[in-house]
Amino acid sequence: MAGKRSLASQAMLTVPLPPLESLMSSENIERTINRMKEMKVAQRPPSHENAKKAAILIPLCLIKDELSLLYTLRNADLKRHKGQVSFPGGMQDPEDGSLRITALRETEEEIGVDRKDVQVWGEGITYIGKEFTVLPVVGYLGRIEIDKMKVNPDEVAEVFAVPLKHFVNPANCEHTQFRYKDHCYVIPAYVNSKHRIWGITAIITHVFLSAFIPDHYKHKFYLIQPVKAAL
């Protein structure tokens, strides 16, 4: 029985992703954005404490012909979320005409990708954090050579990419827990890449992959309901 499970697991790991043409078709792009907008993720209620607005770009790109997601490692000297893995993005400026512009501007400032070179697919739902809300914007950057990117060292310590095939391998996904009021959330944390991906970046990664490659990405986001003691 153990041998059969092992063979089944290996078979699951070697199932290739759909062809690039299929993934990047206008039909799949539209389905992805619609699924992201419909996906329900338990989160904090809006309040004056998290009224500030931010936006991030989910940067899909080709690295050596592999469809990948691009991440940044934040500079260790930053005041907020220093040393953490994140998507490029930041707080909305008064001059930004929209949160989409915020995501594109911040991406340009942080990793040097001209906003005109980003093919924007659309936005997902807004995520409500402890200190601010975050709107994820999905954008395709085309072919990227990381070692040639003009990274802003004041904000970004490193840029790295993770191929989509990495995320569908069960061995590369663990889970972490965090509590909010009386509930416990169990969320994915991605390991075995250059840096561990966790927290809200992992949540947004999870939602995007669940919408983009739902037949291949099978990880789950759990909400554990509190157990009431019997009287």
Half-sphere exposure for 101 (CA within 13 Å, toward CB)? 7
Q: Which residue carries 């400026």 as its tokens?
A: 93
Which amino acid, one-letter code, is at 200?
I
Nearest residue to 89 via CA among 132, 57, 58, 113? 57
Per the rule left: phi > 0, alpha: psi between -120 and 50, beta: everything else, 128 is beta
Q: Which domains does the chain have, with CATH numbers?
A: 18-164 (3.90.79.10)
CB neighbours (10 Å) of residue 27? 8
Interaxial angle between packed helices 26-38 and 199-212, expressed in degrees from 0 to 180 and rounded to the nearest 10: 130
> What gap in Å lies between CA 150 and CA 26, rounded to an integer?
30
pLDDT per residue as tens, the chain (231 positions): 334 333 334 444 446 899 999 999 999 999 999 999 998 765 655 656 566 899 999 999 999 899 999 999 987 564 555 558 999 999 999 999 999 999 999 999 999 999 999 999 999 998 877 777 899 999 999 999 999 999 999 889 999 999 999 999 999 998 887 665 666 677 889 999 989 998 889 999 999 999 999 999 988 776 555 545 454
Buried b (16+ CB within 10 A) or exposed e, 48-84: eebeeebbbbbbbbbbeeebbbbbbbbbeeeeeeeeb
Q: What is the pTM of this model?
A: 0.86
